[in-house]
Homo-oligomer: A and B are copies of this chain.
Amino acid sequence: MKVELVSFTSDGEKVIAIASKMSRSRKGWDSHQQMPKEEIEVWIRDAITHGYWSVLEHSSYTFSIEGISRVASHQLVRHRIASYTQMSHRFAKPVDEYYKPVIPPSIKKRSEQAEQAYNSAYEAYFSLLEEGVPEEDARYVLPNGVNTNVVVTMNARELYNFFALRLCSRAQWEIREVAWKMLEEVKKVHPILFKYAGPNCLIHENFVREEPITLDELSSKKIVSERCIEGVKRDGIPKCVLNARQISLTPL
């Protein structure tokens, strides 16, 4: 799996902060252009802690996500406030070196068995192609694990929502890995904006506590929530998040 941030609103953090300020000011854009970094931080923090999410829509992020399974891509495209361009199995045959179905970690120990299944599916696929069945139909015998690529654009608001759902330990390992890698990518370029991003337990916690906390502070601060939205009790939350994070090899 490869998750690459290929384009984004380069001045996104400033754009969001100025837009926030303009909702409360009579002055035009040009008079806010020189906003210092400290003020940008204040406006963004204020927007996030009060759920004033709409300003976050002014900054967009495009990722190329390559080598994920059709299981993961099917889950991914369920997020409707986003833009997708997916490699079409109708037009791009996954043959030869391009056929690399994904093997879940839980199967790793039994990988021989999975590989055998993948190989015999590929043989059936290839022989159907040879007999003249069109690609779009022959692919019915290919496994769900077959690899695909997809270009995704989401704005910062939708990313916060996507992260809330998909960084969570309840998300399947593969889309969870995609989510953690996406978070790493956007934190590199916009650390102020994504400072408070995290799974739903963190997002909801910050809606009900006085001082917002970050992912890294989850285990050291007293949690106000009795439970997360998925039902994990207060005391279990920090460990649950640590587990969810294992999927990503790179430390945050």
Which residues on A are within 8 Å of B, measured CB to CB?
2, 4, 6-12, 15, 18-20, 22-26, 28-30, 49-51, 54-55, 57-58, 60, 62, 64, 66, 69-71, 73-74, 77-78, 80-81, 83-88, 90-94, 98, 101-107, 110, 113-114, 116-118, 120-121, 124-125, 127-128, 131, 133-134, 136-146, 149, 151, 153, 155, 172-173, 200, 204-205, 207-210, 224-231
Contacts and interface: CB of A to CB of B under 8 A. Distances in A.
28 contacts: A7-B12, A19-B85, A22-B87, A22-B151, A23-B86, A23-B92, A24-B88, A24-B92, A26-B87, A26-B93, A29-B64, A29-B66, A50-B229, A51-B200, A51-B229, A54-B85, A70-B70, A80-B81, A101-B140, A104-B137, A121-B143, A142-B143, A142-B144, A207-B225, A208-B227, A209-B227, A210-B227, A224-B225
B58 A29 contact: no
Contacts of A7: 9, 11-12, 15, 58
Contacts of A231: 50
Nearest to A8: B9
A206 to B, nearest CB: 9
Nearest to A109: B131
Contacts of A90: 172
The copy count of this chain in the complex is: 4
B200 A224 contact: no
A205 B225 CA distance: 9
A143 B141 CA distance: 5
Contacts of A6: 15, 18, 29
Given A9-B60, A104-B140, 14 more contacts: A6-B18, A7-B58, A22-B151, A26-B87, A26-B98, A28-B66, A50-B229, A54-B85, A106-B133, A118-B141, A140-B144, A142-B144, A204-B208, A208-B208
